[in-house]
Each structure stands twice: as C-alpha cells, then as structure tokens.
C-alpha cells in the first residue's frame, strides 16, 4: 500500500467512527445527564438519545441523518515530510466515505443550486491546517458538522467597553435565541478577540477539546464554569422541551489578543451528537486512533 492510500483509508475509517460512534467521553456524559435530569420531557428525550447512539454503534449506522458538512483539522508535524497532495487525498476520502458508509450528501451549490452528491464541492471539504513543532506525525481529525447547530452560531462585534460582562450577556442571549433548535444538550465554544474570522475559528476549535477539561488560565476556566451553570439555569433542556440540567454539556473558551478598537466574540454551537474522530499517522506507516478503538 502506498502512503497516500494509507492516509485515504485511515480518513475513511475516521469518517465511519465519527458518524456511527460518539467519543466515549460524550456518550458517558449524556448517560450521566439522563440520570440527573428531573424534568420528564427532557429525561425522555435523553433516553431516546442514549438508545439511539447505542443502536447506531451496534449496527454501525450513522447516529444522525445529518452526517454534516465535512471539516478536517490537519495538524502536520514539522518533522513529517509527506504532506504533498493531502488536499486531494482528503477530498477523495470524503467522497468514498459518503458512498461506503453511507453518509448524506450535504454539499449544495449556494448560487445555482444542486447537490454535488458526494460531499465535495468548492472549498468543501474544508481543511484547517496547523503545524506541530517537533512532531513527526500527521494528525487528522474528521469533524462532520451538522446544519441545525451550525445555524445557531453567532458573531458579535462588541465594543471594547462592553468588556467581559458584554461577552457573558452575548453568550446567554445567543443560547436563549437558539432554544431547542440546535438539538441540546449542546457544547458551546466561545472565541474572543483576534478579529471576526479568528473569533469564530477559535470558537469552533474549542469543540475539539475534551468535555470537562478547563482552560489552563484560571480566569478563563472560571468563565467557562460560570457560563455553563448560567446556560443550564435557562431551563431550555434537552431538545428545548424544558429541563433543569440538560441545556448544555460544556462551555469552552479561548482568546486571541484583540485590536484596541474591537472585541469580537464568536460562538460555535455543537449538538448532542458531538461527532469527531482523530488519528495520528507516523512516517513508518503506524496509525494510532486517539478517539476510537479499532476492531
């Protein structure tokens, strides 16, 4: 097998893992939430959710019909020499995964209409690249993002004078506006500063962090904890049916330094079907799956 084929095959496998099995930390958190919820409609919705991801995993079927638009996070070890052609490999993997698993074709031309049929199109799949100093591997994360939760994402170009309190208010207002539409319990990623695009990118990137993990800076960690508690105080609950503890699974925040005149806040919202899968591919052909176990 060529190295390129190995990357393609691994990516198709990652798609299958992502679509059919929740990362363990997410499924465990949802089960715990189902036990803790006291409001009957939300508790019932959580039971259906738990049943659903259980059957999906057993039968290797996509847990949600919205198998998302295809987004990749590719982290390239600075000592990993073989990245030439990665984009065409990933596009091929997207189309192959769509046919083989199968996934729903979700790439639509916004101007002239028409679904491409294989989840590839202009700028889609979308690939985010980063470099990892000192690493000798290629790390690929498959992140299929559903439309329902994506539609509730928000960008606020706040005035610097609004400060941290303005950020808190914007987050709560965004969650209230979303209600049951993004399929709660949700995970909320907040990116602060940088610029409009940077805030949203940082917000979305937070959705990669493990549940329960707090930001290393204590002020941010506290803000994450406070906003999580406040969001659950809204009582929106699972699927917006009203519930005491199940509006959000977690809140993740990160920041970039801002322009003196700007305070951008990007909010990314992830539905309960928080699908992602990651593998590292080493130069010698070794593949290590980080989020899922290979049979």
Partner 1 sequence: MAEYHFTTPITKEDVQKLRIGDVIYVTGTVFTARDEAHERALEMAKKGESMPIDFEGLAVYHCGPVVRKVDDQWEIVAAGPTTSTRMDIFEDEFIQTFGVNVIIGKGGMGARTVKAMQEYKAVYTAFVGGAAVVAAKGIKRVKEVHWLDLGTPECLWVLDVEKFGPLIVGIDTYGESLFQNVADEAQKKLPQIGEFLGISF
CB of residue 75 to partner 1, shortest distance in Å: 28
Among 190, 272, 277, 281, binds partner 1 (CB under 8 A): 272
Q: Which stretch binds partner 1 (CB under 8 A): 55-63, 127-135, 136-144, 279-287?
A: 55-63
Q: Is residue 96 a contact residue for partner 1 (CB under 8 A)?
A: no
Q: How far apart are CA 250 and CA 214, in angstroms?
A: 10
Q: Is residue 160 a contact residue for partner 1 (CB under 8 A)?
A: no
CB of residue 164 to partner 1, shortest distance in Å: 9
CB closer to partner 1, 116 vs 283? 116
CB closer to partner 1, 39 vs 277? 39
Q: Is residue 105 a contact residue for partner 1 (CB under 8 A)?
A: yes
Contact 142, 11 (CB under 8 A): yes
Q: Is residue 181 a contact residue for partner 1 (CB under 8 A)?
A: yes
Q: How far apart are CA 60 and CA 76, in angstroms?
A: 30
Query: How many CA atoms does the CB half-sphere of 121 hold within 13 Å?
Result: 17
Q: Which two tokens stand for residue 43?
A: 């508790």
Among 2, 65, 84, 294, binds partner 1 (CB under 8 A): 65
CB of residue 114 to partner 1, shortest distance in Å: 7
Q: Is residue 38 a contact residue for partner 1 (CB under 8 A)?
A: no
Residues 192-221 that bind partner 1 (CB under 8 A): none
Q: How far apart are CA 219 and CA 102, in angstroms?
A: 44
Q: How far apart are CA 94 and CA 246, in angstroms?
A: 33
Which of 129, 125, 139, 183 has its CA nearest to residue 289? 139
Prior bond of 102 cis (ω within 30°): yes
Here's the x/- map for partner 1, 116-135, by CB under 8 A: it reads as: -x------------------
Sheet containing strand 186-192, strands side by side: 154-158, 263-270, 186-192, 248-255
Could you tell me the CA-to-CA distances from 206 to 152, 182, 191, 192, 203 in Å, in that order? 16, 17, 8, 11, 5
Residue bearing tokens 């602060």: 192
CB of residue 154 to partner 1, shortest distance in Å: 15
CB closer to partner 1, 202 vs 239? 239
Q: How far apart are CA 89 and CA 140, in angstroms?
A: 12
253 beta partners: 190
Residues 227-266 that bind partner 1 (CB under 8 A): 227, 229-230, 233-242
Contacts of 65 (CB under 8 A, 6+ apart): 104
Among 102, 130, 159, 197, binds partner 1 (CB under 8 A): 102
Q: Which stretch binds partner 1 (CB under 8 A): 38-46, 118-126, 188-196, 276-284?
A: 38-46
Contact 49, 272 (CB under 8 A): yes
Distance of CA 174 to the CA centre of its chain: 18
CB closer to partner 1, 88 vs 151? 151
Binding residues for partner 1, rule: CB under 8 A, are: 40-41, 44-45, 48-49, 51-52, 55-56, 59, 61-67, 102-106, 108, 114-115, 117, 146-148, 151, 165, 168-169, 172-173, 176, 179-183, 226-227, 229-230, 233-242, 271-273
């Amino acid at each position: 097998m060529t190295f390129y084929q190995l990357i393609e095959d691994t990516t198709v496998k990652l798609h299958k893992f992502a679509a059919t099995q929740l990362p363990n930390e997410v499924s465990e958190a949802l089960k715990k939430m189902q036990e803790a919820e006291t409001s009957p409609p939300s508790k019932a919705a959580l039971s259906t959710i738990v049943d659903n991801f259980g059957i999906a995993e057993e039968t290797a079927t996509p847990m949600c019909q919205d198998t998302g638009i295809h987004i990749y996070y590719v982290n390239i070890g600075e000592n990993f020499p073989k990245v030439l052609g990665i984009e065409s490999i990933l596009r091929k993997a997207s189309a192959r995964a769509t046919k083989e698993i199968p996934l729903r074709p979700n790439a639509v031309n916004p101007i002239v209409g028409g679904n491409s049929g294989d989840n590839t199109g202009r700028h889609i799949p979308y690939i985010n690249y980063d470099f990892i100093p000192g690493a000798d591997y290629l790390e690929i994360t498959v992140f299929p993002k559903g439309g329902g939760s994506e539609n509730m994402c928000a960008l606020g170009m706040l005035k610097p004078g609004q400060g941290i309190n303005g950020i808190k208010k914007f987050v709560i207002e965004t969650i209230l506006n979303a209600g049951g539409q993004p399929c709660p319990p949700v995970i909320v990623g907040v990116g602060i500063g940088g610029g409009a695009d940077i805030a949203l990118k940082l917000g979305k990137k937070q959705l990669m962090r493990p549940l329960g993990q707090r930001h290393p800076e204590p002020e941010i960690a506290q803000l994450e904890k406070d906003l999580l508690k406040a969001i659950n105080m809204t009582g929106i609950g699972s699927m917006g049916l009203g519930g005491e503890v199940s509006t959000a699974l977690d809140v993740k925040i990160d920041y970039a330094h801002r322009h003196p005149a700007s305070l951008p806040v990007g909010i990314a919202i992830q539905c309960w079907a928080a699908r992602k899968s990651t593998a590292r591919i080493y130069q010698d052909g070794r593949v290590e799956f980080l989020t899922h176990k290979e049979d």
